[in-house]
Amino acid sequence: MTTNKTYHPETLGLRAGTETTEFGENSEALFLNSSFKFKNSAQAAARFGGTEPGNIYSRFTNPTVTMFQNKLAALEGAEQCVATSSGMSAILACVMGLCSTGDHVVASRSVFGTSVQLFGNILKRWGLEVTFVSLTNPSEWQAAITPKTKLFFVETPSNPLTEVCDIQVLADIAHQANAYLVVDNCFCTPAIQKPLDLGADIIIHSATKYIDGQGRCLGGAVLGSKILMEPVYGFLRTAGVTMSAFNAWVFLKGLETLHIRMEAHARKALDLATWLEAQPQVARVYYPGLTSHPQHALAMKQQLSGGGIVSFEVQPKSGQTKQEAAWALIDSTELISITANLGDAKSTITHPATTTHSRITAEARLQAGISDNLVRIAVGLEHVDDLKADLRF
């Protein structure tokens, strides 16, 4: 089936992008081969010359990867998807494809820690100018614009505090400056939020997270218009940050169940967040689906649900430091996995201050609102009563 906008999203997750070989398989085939044969030299020349479409070499294109790209593009409502070897290489390919030395990127301060390193350290060494601003304050984005500004880069909701930005407002500011708004849609996935419909130009995914959904493979994707994706693909096929066919095959299976999984993650996360808010040992809960969330209304306008990530501050007991309170809770769990990953069917628990956000200074952490008693749970698919019972305050 080719993409058809009249189908509902869950149907697209199952049916879009799929192609069938002469064998008539009902599940997408895994093309675990590096190169493709030509009938003769003339066909080889035509493929290389671009006058005949078709596969050449799996660093460029591979049928299993193409099926994954077409399925994800249908779900995000994008013209084109470029699959990459990881979420980080998706961000790298996006910037390398669209920016040059001297160009300027405005990025949210509350993006994935490794994205901060990529922009602030590595790409900076190659002459990319980067300004970090507040995710939730559009006037800072406006003020950061220079004549060289090419990209705005955000994650919404943010990690770990689930802050939300108004995608349409930032897209308008970016477009007035002839810049593109890039949204890392990893936390929501298209099952919950469709940034292109809200005015964004480019979407980034770490497929490693909810798209896989069972913690198996690394992968990523960049999505947008054909014109914007052409140089991104050009970088990928030359630099080789290609998604493996095996991983694409796993992600194809993940996309089939994405909608039903995201509904379940969000339902369980809302239940857990509501319960946490009622616990005397919890000082504060961060979850966009709660009415107490400062941007609850905006989140519910942009998202179908609050998603699967819940963060909260543990109230220290007398004599306990904030970190001791958080660590005691995390270390007392028997069921929930202590790991920094998210988007797995198994629930995971993290102490951001000493793991994902340990590389930033204590002052910067405090400024970002990540206190030493903050705990993040990526709510999986276990029964929520078992999760509650596992949190021994």
Ligand X SMILES: *Cc1c(COP(=O)(O)O)cnc(C)c1O
Judged by the rule CB under 6 A, the positions of this chain that interact with ligand X are 86-88, 112, 115, 155, 159, 184, 186, 206, 208-209, 218, 220
Shortest distance in whole angstroms from residue 211 CB to ligand X? 10
CB 68 within 8 A of CB 248: yes
Contacts of 266-271 spanning 24+ positions with Cβ under 8 A: 266/192, 266/304, 266/305, 266/306, 266/307, 266/308, 267/305, 268/308, 268/379, 268/380, 268/381, 268/382, 268/384, 268/387, 269/306, 269/307, 269/308, 269/309, 269/310, 269/379, 270/305, 270/306, 271/384
Residues near 287 by beta carbon (within 8 Å), at least 6 away in sequence: 162, 269, 270, 273, 293, 306, 309, 310, 311
Give the residue with the Cβ less far from ligand X, 96 or 186. Answer: 186
Give the residue with the Cβ less far from ligand X, 72 or 88. Answer: 88
Instruction: Please tell me the distance from the alpha carbon of residue 161 to that of residue 145, in angstroms, as a whole number.
Output: 26
Give the residue with the Cβ less far from ligand X, 87 or 289. Answer: 87
Shortest distance in whole angstroms from residue 206 CB to ligand X? 3
Give the residue with the Cβ less far from ligand X, 269 or 325. Answer: 269
Shortest distance in whole angstroms from residue 385 CB to ligand X? 27
Shortest distance in whole angstroms from residue 85 CB to ligand X? 8
The residue sitting closest to ligand X, measured at its beta carbon, is 87
- The vertex-211 CA angle with 208 and 215, nearest 5°, equals 45
Beta bridge partners of 132: 107
Give the residue with the Cβ less far from ligand X, 157 or 289. Answer: 157
CB 326 within 8 A of CB 374: yes
Q: How many CB atoms lie within 10 A of CB 149?
A: 20
Give the residue with the Cβ less far from ligand X, 144 or 207. Answer: 207
Give the residue with the Cβ less far from ligand X, 16 or 182. Answer: 182
Q: Would you mind telling me the total number of residues written for the chain in this entry?
A: 393
Give the residue with the Cβ less far from ligand X, 103 or 155. Answer: 155
Shortest distance in whole angstroms from residue 197 CB to ligand X? 20
Instruction: Please tell me the distance from the alpha carbon of residue 94 to that of residue 181, in angstroms, as a whole number.
Output: 12
Shortest distance in whole angstroms from residue 186 CB to ligand X? 4
CB 200 within 8 A of CB 313: no
b/e sequence 313-327, b meaning 16+ C-beta within 10 Å: bbbbeeeeebbebbb
Shortest distance in whole angstroms from residue 66 CB to ligand X? 20
Give the residue with the Cβ less far from ligand X, 149 or 158. Answer: 158
Shortest distance in whole angstroms from residue 309 CB to ligand X? 9
CB 101 within 8 A of CB 128: yes
Residue that the structure tokens 């192609």 belong to? 19
Shortest distance in whole angstroms from residue 115 CB to ligand X? 6
